[in-house]
Amino acid sequence: MEKRTAYADERAARREIIRWGREIYEQGLVKGSGGNLSIRLDDGTVLLTPTGWFLGHMTEECLSHVDMDGNLLEGEKPTKEVPLHLNVYRERPNVRAVCHTHSVYATAFASAAEPDSCMPIYTPSVAAKVGPILVTNFALPGSVELGENVRRGIRCSNGTLLSNHGVVAVGKTMADAVSVANEIENNAMIHFISGRTAKPLSDEVVAELNKKVTL
């Protein structure tokens, strides 16, 4: 028998989104009404943060509930990044949560790096929890193209960088996804705080640690 996830209970999933939305807002991984979160429920439908809301100020009732075609089932109008979230769930059926942030250091890195390059990895935890961090090409927020870029970026990794935009982190739980978002931001901080002089882990070490990544 397949083990059921923590997201069989919609009310519990709503509480998770509110809890972690407040957490990343207070951490500064998002500011204003930027960023968005989602959880895929056991029935295949998706809870998302609504458009225009500060993630630290949400209520359980304001969340958007959509099907896998993006049709609104109940709640407020969802974030415009619905294609991004749904493409993650289509590409990675085991993923149950998506965290999209606009954290400053990671976004700065994604705005300076060449698209289709990978972020250097400085710590073992990034290599073992995230995997290769691809910088995807720029696409307009909310576009189908952006969703497809994200789909490619998370195919073999738990996180990707959106050129001139931010971070997408995924996981089996929202705690996992938020942890990945923090790992990517911390990695970017090391890059800039060191004046771009920090020595990344070798390709051989990264490849060995990447084997530990749960996809």
Catalytic (active-site) positions = 81
Dihedral sign (CA 70, 87, 148, 143): positive
Question: How far is residue 132's CA from residue 162's CA, in Å, rounded to a whole number?
Answer: 14
Question: How far is residue 24's CA from residue 126's CA, in Å, rounded to a whole number?
Answer: 18
Helix, coil or strand: residue 128 = helix
Question: How far is residue 78's CA from residue 84's CA, in Å, rounded to a whole number?
Answer: 12
DSSP 131-197: ---EEEPP--TT-HHHHHHHHHHTTTSSEEEETTTEEEEEESSHHHHHHHHHHHHHHHHHHHHTTT-
Cα-flanking dihedrals φ and ψ of residue 136, to 5°?
Answer: -85, 165
Question: How far is residue 135's CA from residue 53's CA, in Å, rounded to a whole number?
Answer: 27
